[in-house]
Chain A
Amino acid sequence: MRYSNELKKKLKKEGIRTGDRIRVSYKQKKYDGILMPRTGTDEKDIIILKLDSGYNIGLELSGDFSIEKVDSRKEKKGHETIKSISIEKETEKDVAILIAGGTIASRVDYRTGAVKPSVDEEELVSFAPRIAGIANIEAKKIIETLSENVSPDDWVTIAKAVKKEIENGKDGVVVAHGTDTMGYTAAALSFVFEDLPIPVVLTGSQRSSDRGSSDSHQNLTCAVKAATTEVAEVMVCMHGERSDTFCYLHPGTKTRKMHTSRRDAFRTINADPYAKVHWEGLGVEMIRSDYRKKDKKRRVKIKEHFEENVEMVKIYPGMDPDIFKKQLEKTEGVIVEGTGLGHLPTNNKKIMEALKKYNEEENIAFMASQCLNGRVNMNIYETGIDLQSTGVIGNLNDMLPETAYVKLAWLLGNYNKEEAKDLMTENMRGEITERSSQTKL
């Protein structure tokens, strides 16, 4: 609470707490209502009152005013949820939902309107009552954070939790995650698991669950459905278009958030999604057939270390070579996010020298393109050829820069440098495609 001292004292003297019904008299006027928690602004003399009409107003209490308690806060059950609608089970499959934070796992505090990452297991299931008809659900909270705060350590926590569920014999695992960095986590999980035996589906929401229009229930329901399929891959399940019609199952190493707020923000880049899950009837429409088939008997193998000293550097006109140099310091590997086919200002001696030195010191530099769509090819222009002479490796093909960053960190965490260098340009988890057949940008 950030009230002024005077106001704080008065509230304390009257024994008034947030949620109490109070009467305020000032400027010859009287207002009755419930004291709401202070949010947002820095104004310290303003209290927020919820009037009987339901509206909140802010009143500036300084100078001459009085405030009295009319009634104590009514302790209500925190929140009511719609009970699961029991539907006859279509399968006897077991799906675990691991809650790793984000908007989908957030609840609006209806008093303050603030979104808090605090949903509990039961509540999450209640957001999407239909999932009870798809599988036996077991939900667990594993991390409580918004996705902008997710770190490589969290990837490891999630990976271990997923492993445990696989060992428990689940048919599929859903990970509820924030959308900002979901693409990174999906890539990380893709690399951690070798020969994944069952589907692992990440899902999230772009619109908070308090809204009637939230995308959370469709995404979660379709994700649970996806977890019961035969597609034993790490996938991202999010809205396919602005309508509430279907979700796409994007490949974990090929997906990226391409819009700040729209529900169809996630796109598969340089490949096709595995499938569509239709909202009505929950039919799964396969788009690809080149996926790993589910086999619960396959033993789960994980390599879960991520090297910390890996960087991602974006190239832009006018960049300061000294800062570029600084960014390379103390790292063992770097993903350079170049322009076009995989370029950077080769006429800048300082940058070229820095890269050369970097390679001579046995570090690894790879080139990805900030175009996102298309392949890196450093043989087309002379500048690209010059760049290769510094030791920058450009055959990452059509790998997304973010995926490349996660892969490099993972390789350096689990293999020696030579192996990492070789594996980096090899397709391990669908991160590199052989043919460019995608028709739509």
Chain B
Amino acid sequence: MNYKKLGFKCGIEVHQRLDTKKLFCNCSSSMQEEPEDEVVRKLRVVPGETGEMDPAALYEFLRDRKFIYKIYPSESCEVELDEEPPHQIREDALEISLQITKMLDCEVPDEIHPMRKTVIDGSNPSGFQRTMLVGMNGTLETSQGSVGIENVCLEEESAQILNREENTVIYGLNRLGIPLVEIGTAPDIKSPEHAKEVAKSLGNMLRATGKVQRGIGSIRQDVNVSIEGGSRIEVKGLQELDILEDTVRKEVERQKSLLGIKEKLNRRGASVPDDVFDVGQVFEGSDSKFYGKIMKDKDIKAFILKGFGGLLANKISGDKTFGKELSEYAEAHGLGGIIHTDEDIEKYDLLDEFGELKKKFDAGKDDVLVVAAGTKGLDEAIEAVKDRAKKAMEEIPEETRDSNDDGTTSYSRPLPGKARMYPETDVPAIRIGQKKLETIEIPESLEKKKKGLVEEGLSEHLAEEILDSRFYDLFRELRQSISMDLPTLANLLTIELKDLKKREGLDIEKIDSEKLTKIIKSIDEGKVPKDSFGKILEELLNKDKDLKDVLDKTEKIDDKSLAKIVKKVVDDKEELVGKDRAFKKLMGLVMQEVGGKAEGEKVSDILRKELDERK
């Protein structure tokens, strides 16, 4: 596809959580705990800074929802609950964000001003997110030329949704307030592949700081896409680079299809009449199982889309139809969806009822009859669907959409307006002097780090693993103080741990740097055998034993004692000597005897010697 010809415009925003304590309080960012209590809140819409109400904020307010916030022992406090003003900004998080601005060649303001960005979806109990611009007008070099960096922001991560019930959203406060760096590019991206490249490149840059969180959800992308004649669509919350590329491609497809539908509707002189009919009676007493399960005891209403016939079945992106696109507006208002005559009505077992309705309302071949059922919010939902259908004849509405795993997107809410930021006066502005900027070091790029490690004897794979590991800092620290060779150390910290997780189901997330250091140092000093690494961790994590006891228990058997054990085993099984596979069998018996307290290699040496002597 020629994206240039389509007038393709695309920019991305990368959001990365930092691996420090929270931005404005002293809570841990580790997200390991279970909640211990909860608080219930209702948010209210407030006029924005310029006095205009933000449309996204208003939309959320009108949904009139209740929010339940889960509280955690050491991962949330009164600051997250908006019961206490923010503390001073976390210095190391600020420094990491400044590092990033340097890597992207950004301009840094002389004074950084924390702002409040209105969010009323409940993801922040205060009703706003704290955010600040730390860099602007930077560049990223890519294979397709340079891509502008419009801004680098340091902000608070939002609370995460744990559950939704009718009119209630349950949030966990453990994620709220974790420092988050947001990098926004200019709309310079040239193609879906290019979007992936840019996202990957920014991700690598962030990881090169060595101070970012890893794992699911710790990095997310939003993409903005439009084509000529289309509109800016913001797709939120992408986590996989491959899906990102696919999503961009499918959004272009969607906008192209919608433009095609618009042309057809105009040619046909389509229209959306105002009338909405109460049609409950028509369905009364229906045998349809679908009716019994979904529609019964609800209000049922219908309306006509004149001249839309056939178009609702058109696929507009992936397997998604235009009908589904309309239906999502009803879903956003709490309905299960809509039923329309461009669908296979037979599958609902409602052919007769729809036939009657079509006749009653004089719906022609080119018209679509739409039926929706619900109680609360039914009228609003129908209005939303009709509005969307009307817009289909004029334009593609600008909106925020959620990403799906198959690359398609779903309607989320209107695009937030600009009237949503005002100064956070509880936190003083931060003066960034030239001197301060000069002390900020640019970290070595991941590529360079990898090259260096390979030169030091690590395989490419092992180098990538250790660079991606949360124990990378520990690796750098340990290599200064121990004599173990680098590949062995890297292997223990990465592949060994992953294997233990896979093989033994060990919860390696629970192990911390301090304990790992003790174990590895004991191995390095020859106190415990390397082979018992897994066994030690297993005792530690699965059996919840004290580390010192475990290490004492696994202390190595010295060579003399080992020779004695070998001799005893061979004495007992003298009959095996000289036989087939004697070595292997005896080796197994000795290992059983020493129970992980000796290296296999050592045992093998001694056993071989013993056997040689007996020949």
List residues of chain A with CB under 8 Å of any chain B CB. 29, 39-41, 43, 46, 48, 51, 53-60, 76-82, 108, 110-115, 207, 209-214, 217-218, 242-245, 260-263, 279
Q: A43-B111, A242-B81 are contacts. A55–B151 as well, Cβ < 8 Å?
A: yes
A54→B115 contact, CB < 8 A: yes
Shortest A31–chain B CB gap in Å is: 9
Closest B residue to A259 by CB, please name it. Answer: B83
- Cα(A113)–Cα(B429), bound, Å: 12
B109→A57 contact, CB < 8 A: yes
B420→A54 contact, CB < 8 A: yes
A212→B45 contact, CB < 8 A: yes
10 pairs, CB–CB < 8 Å, chain A vs chain B: A58-B113, A110-B51, A113-B423, A115-B425, A211-B126, A212-B118, A212-B119, A212-B120, A212-B126, A214-B127
Please name all residues of chain B whose beta carbon is closer than 8 Å to the beta carbon of A244 when the two chains form the complex.
40-42
Does B465 sit at the interface, judged by CB under 8 A? no
Q: Nearest 3 pairs between A and B by C-beta?
A: A212-B127, A58-B111, A113-B423
- Cα(A38)–Cα(B111), bound, Å: 12
Does B431 sit at the interface, judged by CB under 8 A? yes
B115→A59 contact, CB < 8 A: no
Closest A residue to B47 by CB, please name it. Answer: A80
Shortest A95–chain B CB gap in Å is: 21
Which of B41, B83, B116, B428 sits near A262, CB closer than 8 Å?
B83
Does B141 sit at the interface, judged by CB under 8 A? no
Which of B48, B78, B85, B151 sits near A110, CB closer than 8 Å?
B48
B84→A55 contact, CB < 8 A: no
A43→B422 contact, CB < 8 A: no
Closest A residue to B425 by CB, please name it. Answer: A113
Closest A residue to B109 by CB, please name it. Answer: A57
- Cα(A53)–Cα(B136), bound, Å: 11
Q: A40-B429, A243-B39 are contacts. A79–B51 as well, Cβ < 8 Å?
A: yes
Please name all residues of chain A whose beta carbon is closer than 8 Å to the beta carbon of B429 when the two chains form the complex.
40-41, 58
Shortest A210–chain B CB gap in Å is: 6
- Cα(A57)–Cα(B428), bound, Å: 13
Interface of A is mostly: loop
Shortest B138–chain A CB gap in Å is: 12
- Cα(A76)–Cα(B51), bound, Å: 8
- Cα(A151)–Cα(B186), bound, Å: 56
List CB contacts (< 8 Å) of B269-317 with chain A: none
- Cα(A56)–Cα(B133), bound, Å: 8
List CB contacts (< 8 Å) of B576-608 with chain A: none
- Cα(A188)–Cα(B40), bound, Å: 34
A60→B111 contact, CB < 8 A: yes
Please name all residues of chain A whose beta carbon is closer than 8 Å to the beta carbon of B43 when the two chains form the complex.
212-213
Does B125 sit at the interface, judged by CB under 8 A? yes
Shortest A297–chain B CB gap in Å is: 39
B83→A81 contact, CB < 8 A: no
Please name all residues of chain A whose beta carbon is closer than 8 Å to the beta carbon of B137 when the two chains form the complex.
29
List residues of chain B with CB under 8 Å of any chain A CB. 39-53, 78, 81-85, 107, 109-113, 115-120, 125-128, 131-133, 136-137, 150-151, 153, 418, 420-425, 428-429, 431
- Cα(A108)–Cα(B46), bound, Å: 11
B82→A211 contact, CB < 8 A: yes
Please name all residues of chain A whose beta carbon is closer than 8 Å to the beta carbon of B112 when the two chains form the complex.
57-58
Please name all residues of chain B whose beta carbon is closer than 8 Å to the beta carbon of A39 when the two chains form the complex.
423, 425
Please name all residues of chain A whose beta carbon is closer than 8 Å to the beta carbon of B133 when the two chains form the complex.
51, 53, 55-57
- Cα(A141)–Cα(B120), bound, Å: 30
Please name all residues of chain A whose beta carbon is closer than 8 Å to the beta carbon of B39 when the two chains form the complex.
242-243
B51→A77 contact, CB < 8 A: yes
With contacts A80-B53, A213-B125 known, what are 6 further pairs, Cβ within 8 A?
A40-B428, A54-B420, A55-B153, A56-B113, A113-B116, A245-B40
Please name all residues of chain A whose beta carbon is closer than 8 Å to the beta carbon of B131 when the two chains form the complex.
55
Shortest A54–chain B CB gap in Å is: 4
Which of B48, B85, B116, B425 sits near A114, CB closer than 8 Å?
B425
Closest B residue to A206 by CB, please name it. Answer: B83
Closest B residue to A217 by CB, please name it. Answer: B44
Which of A58, A59, A78, A262 sits near B51, CB closer than 8 Å?
A78
Which of A29, A111, A214, A262 sits near B49, CB closer than 8 Å?
A111
B128→A212 contact, CB < 8 A: yes
B51→A48 contact, CB < 8 A: no
Shortest A168–chain B CB gap in Å is: 31
- Cα(A20)–Cα(B118), bound, Å: 24
A41→B428 contact, CB < 8 A: yes
- Cα(A403)–Cα(B151), bound, Å: 55
A57→B85 contact, CB < 8 A: no
- Cα(A78)–Cα(B50), bound, Å: 8
B44→A261 contact, CB < 8 A: no
Please name all residues of chain A whose beta carbon is closer than 8 Å to the beta carbon of B42 when the two chains form the complex.
218, 244, 279
A213→B115 contact, CB < 8 A: no
Shortest B374–chain A CB gap in Å is: 23
B48→A213 contact, CB < 8 A: no
B44→A214 contact, CB < 8 A: yes
A46→B110 contact, CB < 8 A: yes
Closest A residue to B38 by CB, please name it. Answer: A243
- Cα(A279)–Cα(B40), bound, Å: 12
- Cα(A78)–Cα(B78), bound, Å: 33
Please name all residues of chain B whose beta carbon is closer than 8 Å to the beta carbon of A78 when the two chains form the complex.
51
A243→B41 contact, CB < 8 A: yes
B78→A261 contact, CB < 8 A: yes
- Cα(A46)–Cα(B418), bound, Å: 25
- Cα(A244)–Cα(B127), bound, Å: 14
Closest B residue to A49 by CB, please name it. Answer: B109
Please name all residues of chain B whose beta carbon is closer than 8 Å to the beta carbon of A43 when the two chains form the complex.
111, 431
Shortest B311–chain A CB gap in Å is: 38
A262→B78 contact, CB < 8 A: yes
Residue among B119, B136, B423 with max Cβ neighbours from chain A (10 Å): B423
Q: A46-B111, A113-B422, A113-B423 are contacts. A209–B52 as well, Cβ < 8 Å?
A: no
B151→A213 contact, CB < 8 A: no
